[in-house]
Structure formats: structure tokens, C-alpha cells
Structure 1
């Protein structure tokens, strides 16, 4: 979170969001009023501007788990990963700048190294398009590996790299909604493959087109909410990946 956030804890109900929107003066504001932050779709719902304005983009180091009641979940995940030899070998490979990792993580590490090596020279404008597939696939593979360490062997989680369009429909008039696409998703095998968490992957484009990328991410979150109201629970998370180069040529992660 950044200093421009208008609440100390992320709202968890519509009433709390509305209260925060009133406090910030955004309740009746449309993204159309912000021409430099406007998404390609014409959206006039207050939720859009609330999500993007109240929840600002911040780097990984600035993420506060307590803000989203995630302390217990993150601590549980940390213990699981620290006790898993295959994951420890994967981290060792990163520290040693090695392209080889053990077992399931070998493919994820290979894709990561391919992207890093492609950026050893000068970055060309077209590179931001060429690197998307390896970044996206390595992220999906990494999630698949992590899901595999669940204590529950019959885990219902399933990660897929296929892109799915989510539709946010408001009212019945023509043009009263928009479509937002995923870069992959974690799906619920026990619930007709409903999307538990959409995945969005960005790289150099965030550094160049930051405001537009932020609005696309907000659109994805809202479209997901509209397609799956009340599922999987009132809390919603979007998994976002970006390539972070040691030279600092790429922006931060939301």
C-alpha cells in the first residue's frame, strides 16, 4: 500500500467500500473523468474507480499481509515451502544463478533463465512482447509446483495457462459492460472448474504503460467478481506476475 491509500485495512464488505468511496469523494466518479488513467472499455461503475484509486500499486517489499488478514495463510505457506526439499533446491539454483533445478521446478527455472538471458543486452521495444509467453508459462508452472505441496493429496486446485475472457455486465443496455482476459488461472476442480484466482502477467509494459496496466488489472478483478459472485469467499485475490530485472528496468508488482 502507498501513502495515498484512504483506509488502514482493506474494506471487506460493500458497505465498507461505499463508506471509503464517500470519504475519498469517488462514489459517483467515472474513469472517464480521468483521461490519463482510462481503460479501453467504457465503464461507469463506481467499483472500478474505487478499486484502482483506493488500492494503489506497490512493490513486493511494501506488501502488508495484515492489511488483508493474510498473516496466518502466509505463515502456513512459508512453513510448507521451507520444509520441502525440492523448493529449497529451486531457491539454491536461483542464488547460484544456475539454470538447473530439481524435479517439478526444472521447467519453471529453465523458462526464468531464458527470460533473464534475453535481457543481458539492450532491451528493444519488441522485447516486451517476445518475453510474455516465457514469463507467463514459468509463472503457471511455478504455481502448479507450489499447489503440489498441499497437505491434502486430493487438492481441488488446478492451474492452467489457457486465457479466459471474463465478462462484467452492468444493466441491460448495449455497451453496459466489458470483457477482461486472464493470462491463466487457478481453478476449482470440485466446482465445475470455477476460477479461484485469475493470473495476470506483465513485464516491461508496466514500466511504460503503468496507468493503463493498473486499470486492466482492476477490470480483471471486477469482471471476475461479476462472473462468480460470492465465490470462493468474500475475499478476492488476483495473482500478478512481472519480470524484475536486477538493473531495475522493469516496474513493481501489484
Structure 2
């Protein structure tokens, strides 16, 4: 079922007007921005750092590259890419949410990373860059929040240079029944309470848990990337399939 054929879409388990979803997602991330990093560590027991490290290792980023860290939020991937591309390269930290961008900019400046990073507020469905202008795109834990994922993937394909690659790091589906039950209990019972205690916001974290369940599974996302034009599309499951890293190339 293609999202673009309908006037409604999912917002977690709710069905909402397509035009309203972006602002509803924005409200979630305005709410959680200040506590985003500490909640990531608490929610994943720090494992998110290993997932991101694997994405960085598979990105093939080199000196002189122009990299888009899309939905880059507080800049975990941007920080490493900034070091990898060097003075002759550029990293664009792009996010639809200005609160997240501000947190990311402050964090990266505190790390002394300023010379080769640009901050741009943008919508993944209509990326504000010329065709064939970016070497590598990463989107980590952001695609599931995009209203029209097919449009976003086509937009990413358009701006990649021939030979460029896209990496999508996202929560996915585990086929381990015991792990799935444990994960569901954690997501819908413990996670919202943790959000209430730490970020004073249980509803945003309930949405995040629901949005994970509504995201396409590994094979479906692989097919969506291929429909957008990507070739040699593969994925790697991590932590039993709770997270998957998809990779595709433009030729």
C-alpha cells in the first residue's frame, strides 16, 4: 500500500491527516530535544552508539566527501563524519526540527567542530540540494518519522552523485518470538515511564515506540529503496533484528 495514494497516514497507532503529521512529529521532537541524548543512552543501554558506529564504518566516508547526515538530530554521526572528511570536505547536519538542530549545533561547537559543518533545516521529502551533489547520505532513526517515505527516498536518490551511497539505520522487526515479547513489554511499559521520569513526557515516547512498530520491515524497506532507484541494496540486522542497517548505491 503506497502512502501517496491516501489523504491519511499513521502517527504511531493513530490515523491522522497527512498534512498534520509533520507538525505532530515536530511537537514530539521539540519536547524531547533537550533530553534526547541522555534518553538515547538510557533507552538502548548505550547500544545505540554501537549501531551508529557500524553505520559510520559502512558509509565509506573519505577526505573531501560531501556528506548529508539527514534527520541528524543532535549530531552523533556528524561529529565523526566531520573528522573523516577533513578540511576539504563538508558535512551537512539536516533535520526538519529546529530544536534538535540547535541542540546538535551547540554540542558540536562544544566539541570544537565548526569549520566543515553546515546546519540546514529541511524536509526529507524535498531536499534543498542540486541533483548529483552529495557523496554519502545517512539517515539514522529518522525515516520512520517521515510522512511520505517513498518521496524521501526518491529525493535522496536524486541528490546523490553517481557512485554515492545511502545508509538507513532504523528500528526494524525481529523474528525471535521471545525477544519480540520482551521488546514489546519494554517498549510499551517501561519506556513511556522512563520518558516521564527523565524528560517529563511519556506520550512522546509512547509515540516513538508505536512508530517503530508501524515502520516497514527489512524486506519491505529494501524494496522501497530499489523502487526509488537504488542498486545493490542490502541490509544487516543488529541486536536480533531490533535494528537494521540498509545500504543502497546510485550508479
Alignment TM-score > 0.5, same fold: no
From the two aligned structures, give the one with the greater helix fraction.
2
- TM-score scaled by length of structure 2: 0.27
From the two aligned structures, give the one with the greater strand fraction.
2
